[in-house]
Amino acid sequence: MYETERKELVEQLKKRGITNQALLDAFLKLERHQFVPDVIKPHAYNDVALPIGYGQTISQPYTVAVMTQALDPKPGQKVLEIGTGSGFQAALLYQMGVRVFTIERNEKLYNRALKIFDRLELKIAARCSDGSLGWEEFSPYDGIIVTAGSPGVPNYLKKQLAINGKMVIPVGDKFTQTLKILTKKSVTEFQTDEIPYFAFVPLIGKEGWNEK
């Protein structure tokens, strides 16, 4: 289903500068319409963020692609995602051969994502908790990807990143953020690159924004 639309979306991503072939292949295979509510399915291959309920969104495909290209995950690596939402980003990483750990704070979205992972037979480790604290048990991670906007880079996540690991995280105010790409050079040193102009829903948690 929606094969033509999926191919067209991948062509658009290529035109906008996405070159990572493993990522483009994963986008071609993964059915985005499986991750959105029924009424939204006809719009699943438009390059836009879409509502998934509870005031949350499935990120725009281009944004997912830019973040994943920046993370540059390799098969067999361990990646922690903060903000499971629909489950699409986690599934995309899984499709690329990554060992995926994902955290969602909203219980309803968490349960919905679990059902989707189950239905599509995706072996993704998921938990419902405050992702700004990370998931220490399985650390260190080769990559950490945060899909909600944060006021800063949570210290717990810095600690749980492996040496030479990469973290991709939108940092800014509640409305606009800069995508920060951190490479951990040593226990205390990080090299940081930036891509401006992103807009994510807020990361709510102990090391994110307060609930209210």
Residues in contact with ligand SAM by the rule CB under 6 A: 56-59, 82-83, 85-86, 88-89, 103-106, 109, 130-132, 147-148, 200-201, 203-205, 208
Say whether 8 sits in a helix, a strand or coil. Answer: helix
Cis amide leading into 140 (omega within 30)? yes
For ligand SAM, the closer CB: 10 or 49? 49
Return the residue nearest ligand SAM (CB atom).
Answer: 83
For ligand SAM, the closer CB: 163 or 180? 180
Pull the structure tokens for residue 48.
């836009």
| Minimum distance from residue 119 beta carbon to ligand SAM (Å) | 16
| C-beta separation of 28 from 95 below 8 A | no
For ligand SAM, the closer CB: 77 or 147? 147
Cβ partners under 8 Å of residue 94, min gap 6: 100, 122, 123, 124
| Minimum distance from residue 130 beta carbon to ligand SAM (Å) | 5
| Minimum distance from residue 191 beta carbon to ligand SAM (Å) | 25
| Minimum distance from residue 185 beta carbon to ligand SAM (Å) | 26
For ligand SAM, the closer CB: 10 or 113? 113
Concerning whether 150 is annotated as a catalytic residue, the answer is no
- DSSP for 120-181, written as a single string: TT---EEEES-GGG--GGGPPEEEEEE-SBBSS--HHHHHHEEEEEEEEEEEESSS-EEEEE
Q: Which residue has the tokens 């029924």?
A: 38
Cβ partners under 8 Å of residue 38, min gap 6: none
Neighbours of 139 (CB within 10 A): 18
Point out the residues that are catalytic.
59
